[in-house]
Amino acid sequence: MPADPLANRTMIRDVLRCLTAAAACLVMLAWCNAASAQETSETWYETDRINVGLEDPHPTGIDRSSPRQALRGFVNATQQGEYSRAAHYLNLSDLPPDSQQDRAPEIARKLASILARQVWIDWSALPARPDAMIEGSPDSNARAGQPRRNLILGTLETHASAYDLRLGRYKPADAPAVWLFTPQTVENVAALYDAFGPRRFESWIPQSLKSDFAGLWLWEWIALPLLAAGLLLLGLAARTAALSLSRKSSRPWLSNGLERSGMPVAILIMAGATQLILSHVISFSGPVQAVLRPTLIILMVWGVGMTALRLLDAVLHRVTLRYVGDIDDKRGADERELLTSIYALRRLIVLIMVGLAAIVVLAELNLFESIGLTLLASAGVLTVLLGIAGQAVLGNILASLQIAFAKPVRIGDSVLFEGDWAYVESIFYTFLRLRTWDHRRIVVPVTYFVSKPFENWSVAEARMMKVIELWLDHRADVAELRSYFDKLVREGSDISDSESAITYAVDQNAEGLKISFYAMMDDPSTGWAAQSRLREELMAYIRDHHPDWFPRERVQEVPQPDATDPESGNRSTKLSVSGSG
């Protein structure tokens, strides 16, 4: 009987479906195995056995299931002096098995001393989960939701080398995974103990004072106030010595620099002395070290920077006095431009020093990585904050730099700003200081100053034309006044350009004649005094020789006709005022 073609096609289709399903199952099984293997590799480190050289590699009563439990068990064991028990929290795989039993307790003791003196343990930040997974959303932490098989407790630097203190999760073939100090940490204990272990004078401290009290050793509560008092006395002595040297120095710039650097030098010496004490005399516990170390770094960087800046200011001040002199418009444009450039150089140096100081502090405190990640994660927020909160400050700084380079106004220029005649005394990052002719100080924000129109009387030269205006009677002789004014200008010692004197009758009306006297003055300050002197002498000349030239009121009689007697109009009058000068 011939085969049914339809049945054959159906059978072939069913076979193909079965083969496809089987292939899909094989692919899914392979993917699951790979995922399982990957999860295992990301969760722990595979190892054959742990600490085979110890008497009991798998002791009872020791909880090493999570980082927090492992570190807590290690600290409790070392505080009770049970260093053999604390050795079970170390991964001794890099030590020969026959020496583990003898060497492990001593390594645990030294590691406990390093942790107590250099690491401030934040127990709340230590994971309590066996997989050390960071809980939270990916927005708060990029690694949130991911298991970890090692974590860092701290980083210590010594002799230009950095050492990490780490915990790792290890899975033996015949036991559950446990958290231990990594073999690299165990290997680095000797070098770290030499650098950060007990100092030579700590053996003098009685054992009764080494107990814990409120998170610190008991002796620390006694030593810290004594250390602070001693450092304060040392700082006062250093400042007194700097002031004494400044008075004895024969060089003015050095004397000025030492006088202004007394406080930075004192703080620098105090920070350096504290660092020497911590390095060679005595060491404090982790909480104190966590506060002292960044504080000392910041103070030392600040002390060095401020001392250098004060000495630089003294040098620049000396250069200013030698080549420029006092701040006024009698100085030439080149000298005022030099003074402005000196101030601009100082501001640039300050910016560079602040940037270098920030880099040094971040590098010494190992904050580049954490701060860098934080800045990247919150760049948008920082941009908005800087745009809103720092707009005024950044705008003033940029405007100050604009003035420093474009020089629309220079230090020493004479300006007329909002009705006040003043000298530009100083240009800072965010404001200008103007000194008025009567020695008042006007402080103006830089952005406000550059956004308002002002007169710069010294932009090209300090000379300026001054004018004296007098209202006199119409009978005043302009030619005689011109001749006398020319004589006053020629004889005046405060006017160097007598050829520029001009006298004109510039206006007149019913009240009188307006006469203007023009003279070129050397600078605004002496020009104001010379202008006042010339006005006094002109008025005195008119008073003594032509008092009738002073402006006066005139009265004129106007005939008024009498309504009852037409012939009596010439006998009735009315007074009327024509004007006054």
Task: Give the rounded percent of residues in the chain with a pLDDT score beyond 90.
Answer: 14
Residue by residue, DSSP assigns 497-541 as: EEEEEEEEEEEEETTEEEEEEEEEESSHHHHHHHHHHHHHHHHHH
If one looks up domain 464-550 in CATH, what number appears? 3.30.70.100
Contact (CB, 8 A) for 77 and 69: no
Higher pLDDT, 449 or 202: 449
Distances (CA, A) of 268 to 293, 422, 425: 14, 40, 32
Q: Please report the pLDDT score of residue 39 as a whole number.
A: 40
Buried b (16+ CB within 10 A) or exposed e, 211-240: eeeeebbbbbeebeeebeeebeebbeebbe
The amino acid sitting at 363 is A
Burial of 551 (0-12, 13-18, 19+ CB in 10 A): middle
pLDDT by residue (tens digit) across 147-161?
889 899 888 887 667
Q: Please report the pLDDT score of residue 162 as a whole number.
A: 82
Per-residue pLDDT averaged across 32-37, rounded? Answer: 42
Q: Please report the pLDDT score of residue 158 as a whole number.
A: 77
231 vs 268: CA distance, rounded Å: 11
547 vs 475: CA distance, rounded Å: 11
Distances (CA, A) of 29 to 20, 32, 41, 76, 84: 14, 5, 18, 46, 46
The amino acid sitting at 84 is S
Per-residue pLDDT averaged across 73-86, rounded? Answer: 91
Mean residue pLDDT of the chain comes to 77
Per-residue pLDDT averaged across 113-131, rounded? Answer: 86
Q: Please report the pLDDT score of residue 34 as a whole number.
A: 42
* Residue 384 pLDDT > 60: no
Q: Please report the pLDDT score of residue 178 as a whole number.
A: 92
500 vs 41: CA distance, rounded Å: 95
Give me the long-range contacts of 374-378 (CB less than 8 A, separation at least 24): 377/142
Q: Please report the pLDDT score of residue 68 as a whole number.
A: 93
Distances (CA, A) of 107 to 55, 193, 197: 16, 10, 12
Would you place residue 336 in the very low, low, confident or very high pLDDT band (cuts 50, 70, 90)?
low
Six token digits for residue 165: 């203190």
* Residue 33 pLDDT > 50: no
Instruction: Pick the most confident of 184-193, 441-450, 555-564.
Output: 184-193
Would you place residue 35 in the very low, low, confident or very high pLDDT band (cuts 50, 70, 90)?
very low
The amino acid sitting at 322 is R
Would you say the C-alpha torsion 79, 85, 88, 92 has a positive or negative sign? positive
Which phi and psi (to 5°) does residue 529 adopt? Answer: -65, -40
Write out the H or E segment, with its range, that includes residue 341. Answer: helix 333-364
**Residue count of the chain:** 581
Contact (CB, 8 A) for 476 and 546: yes
433 vs 427: CA distance, rounded Å: 7
Q: CA angle, corner 210, sides to 209 and 215, nearest 5?
A: 105
222 vs 205: CA distance, rounded Å: 11
The amino acid sitting at 510 is A
Would you place residue 254 in the very low, low, confident or very high pLDDT band (cuts 50, 70, 90)?
confident
* Residue 458 pLDDT > 60: yes
* Residue 136 pLDDT > 80: no
Q: Please report, for the chain, the start and end positions of each structural domain, with discontinuous segments joined by +.
A: 1-43, 67-136+143-197, 223-456, 464-550, 551-581
Give me the long-range contacts of 78-82 (CB less than 8 A, separation at least 24): 78/108, 78/109, 78/112, 79/112
Contact (CB, 8 A) for 51 and 90: yes
Contact (CB, 8 A) for 495 and 559: no
Q: Could you say which DSSP state residue 223 is in?
A: H
* Residue 576 pLDDT > 50: no
Determine if the pTM surpasses 0.85.
Answer: no
Q: Could you say which DSSP state residue 331 is in?
A: S
Contact (CB, 8 A) for 116 and 154: no
Six token digits for residue 269: 């010496």
Which phi and psi (to 5°) does residue 170 adopt? Answer: -125, 140
Residue by residue, DSSP assigns 361-378 as: HHHHTT-HHHHHHHHHHT
Closest CA to 63 of 74, 50, 52: 74
Q: How far apart are the first and last CA of the chain?
A: 146
Which phi and psi (to 5°) does residue 455 adopt? Answer: -95, 125
398 vs 402: CA distance, rounded Å: 6
